[in-house]
């Protein structure tokens, strides 16, 4: 007996642009009713394959912990990430039935569903953002940071400028479901231990503070105001802001800008310039943060992957595709440097380099022999030969 069917739905996700992985799976059910064989085999195969790939994305522990939620929010709606499914060669036995199941699955769409359901990351609710931004007025030799529990009246203008920017940042990020702390409004400086009240805290200190405030994202940086080319009444604002993952200090967003003011009173022209650029700065940085979050690369490490071997273009592309499809811990693979025999990529991975090396070499890549050449902190080199 042979039963073949295709499921192709009108989905909310765009499968024409999503990469689909082809999967062949053997499913067995113990049903004794002929009319339900096809349905039971389909459900069994979908659940087994879904669990496999969801576990690779979020881990076995989290899969078991949230199984009922995953069943109701993800697997129940499998058409959104499994647009094509085929059951064939159904064989009956006293125990039930078994069949070959072919399907095409979109990892991107599955990842998007997990993200929307709040299951892709451990964080529940809106991710918290901790701003650690300083303002320096080089014209009048003043500076201000919120994490010091004391400041003078002379610093009030700097405090106001910083507070306005942080307020704008909060509004922009809140539209993307991020919650930005308001240290000045909530007088959080009083909560900071003296040992961490340095004007220029180390990244490790910021990461420590972020854990105290349960913030997985830090925005650190400096805003510096100087006189422009020794002119008395024109000024320049230089700023550098970085968004960091609190888990490992990795930069996931960066904004570097310089703005010249018009001619006039220091406080007036600097204030006008801040008011005109705050929105754009906040939008630029927020887009980068949201992009890292939505791609599923948040919480991952950035690893330099070098492939050594004489591969032509088609062979290299084939190997890249196999790595991305088979090694679920690889969340992104971008070319950085290509030369004859040496190909360097930037990889987003949920594993450190040493564990990623084991994950890659533990897979079988058709036509390729892959061996580890060298492993360092954030670097991995592979030797590849054509079989």
Q: pLDDT of 101-142, one tens digit each?
A: 999 999 888 988 887 787 776 666 678 999 999 999 999 999
pTM of this prediction? 0.61
Whether 178 shows a pLDDT value over 80: the answer reads yes
Give kind and range of the element (H or E) at residue 198: none
- Supply the pLDDT for residue 91: 85
Q: Look up residue 36 and give its DSSP letter.
A: G
SS (H, E, C) 137-181: ECCCCEEECCCCCCCCHHHHHHHHHHHHHHHHHHHHHHCCCCEEC
pLDDT digits (tens, 9 = 90+) for 305-317: 999 999 998 899 8
Q: Is residue 94 very low, low, confident or very high in pLDDT (cuts 50, 70, 90)? A: confident
Beta bridge partners of 87: 101
* Average pLDDT estimate for 87-110: 85
- Supply the pLDDT for residue 2: 38
Distance CA 161, CA 383 (A): 54
Contact 229, 245 (CB under 8 A): no
Whole-Å CA distances, 191 to 72, 188, 196, 201, 209: 42, 5, 10, 16, 10
- Supply the pLDDT for residue 29: 86
Q: What whole-number percentage of the chain has pLDDT above 70?
A: 90
Distance CA 311, CA 158 (A): 57
19-28, 168-177, 232-241, 261-270: range with lowest mean pLDDT? 19-28
pLDDT digits (tens, 9 = 90+) for 251-296: 889 999 999 999 999 999 999 999 999 999 999 999 998 888 776 6
Going along the chain from its start, the domains and CATH numbers come out as 20-116 (3.30.1660), 128-294 (3.30.160), 301-386 (no CATH)
Give residue 109's Cα distance to chain centre.
Answer: 15
Angle at 329 between CA 23 and CA 125, to 5 degrees: 105
Contact 321, 345 (CB under 8 A): no
pLDDT digits (tens, 9 = 90+) for 39-65: 889 999 999 999 988 887 777 777 888
Burial (0-12, 13-18, 19+ Cβ within 10 Å), 30: exposed
Whether 331 shows a pLDDT value over 90: the answer reads no
Average pLDDT over all residues of the chain: 85
Quick one: which of 198, 260, 206 has its CA closest to 229? 260
């Amino acid at each position: 007996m042979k039963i073949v069917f295709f499921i192709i739905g009108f989905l909310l996700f765009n499968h024409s642009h999503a990469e689909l992985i082809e999967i062949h799976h053997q499913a067995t059910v113990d049903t004794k009713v002929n009319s339900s064989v096809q349905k039971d085999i389909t459900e069994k195969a979908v659940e087994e394959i879904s669990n496999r790939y969801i576990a690779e994305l979020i881990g076995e522990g989290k899969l078991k912990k949230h199984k009922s939620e995953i069943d109701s929010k993800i697997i129940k709606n499998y058409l959104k990430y499994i647009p094509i499914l085929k059951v064939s060669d159904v064989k009956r036995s006293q125990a039930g039935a078994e069949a070959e199941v072919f399907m095409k699955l979109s990892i991107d769409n599955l990842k998007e569903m997990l993200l929307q359901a709040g299951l892709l990351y451990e964080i529940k609710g809106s991710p918290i953002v901790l701003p650690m931004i300083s303002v320096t007025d080089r014209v009048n030799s003043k500076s201000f940071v919120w994490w010091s529990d004391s400041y003078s009246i002379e610093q009030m203008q700097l405090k106001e400028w910083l507070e306005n920017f942080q307020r704008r940042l909060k509004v922009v990020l809140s539209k993307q479901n991020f919650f930005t702390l308001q240290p000045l409004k909530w007088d959080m400086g009083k909560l900071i231990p003296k040992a961490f009240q340095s004007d220029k805290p180390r990244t490790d200190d910021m990461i420590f503070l972020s854990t105290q405030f349960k913030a997985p994202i830090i925005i650190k940086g400096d805003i510096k105001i100087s006189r422009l080319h020794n002119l008395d009444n024109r000024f320049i604002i230089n700023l550098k802001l970085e968004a960091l993952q609190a888990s490992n200090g990795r930069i996931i967003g960066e904004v570097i800008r310089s703005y010249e003011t018009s001619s006039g009173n220091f406080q007036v022209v600097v204030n006008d310039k801040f008011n005109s650029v705050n929105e754009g700065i906040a939008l630029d940085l927020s887009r980068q943060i949201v992009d890292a979050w939505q791609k599923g690369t948040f919480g991952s490490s950035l690893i330099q992957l070098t492939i050594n071997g004489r591969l032509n273009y088609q062979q290299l592309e084939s190997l890249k595709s196999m790595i991305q499809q088979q090694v679920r811990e690889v969340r992104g693979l971008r070319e950085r440097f290509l030369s004859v025999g040496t190909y360097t990529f930037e990889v987003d991975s949920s594993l450190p380099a040493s564990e990623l090396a084991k994950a890659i070499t533990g897979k079988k890549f058709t036509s390729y022999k892959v061996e580890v050449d060298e492993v360092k902190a954030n670097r991995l080199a592979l030797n590849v030969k054509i079989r």
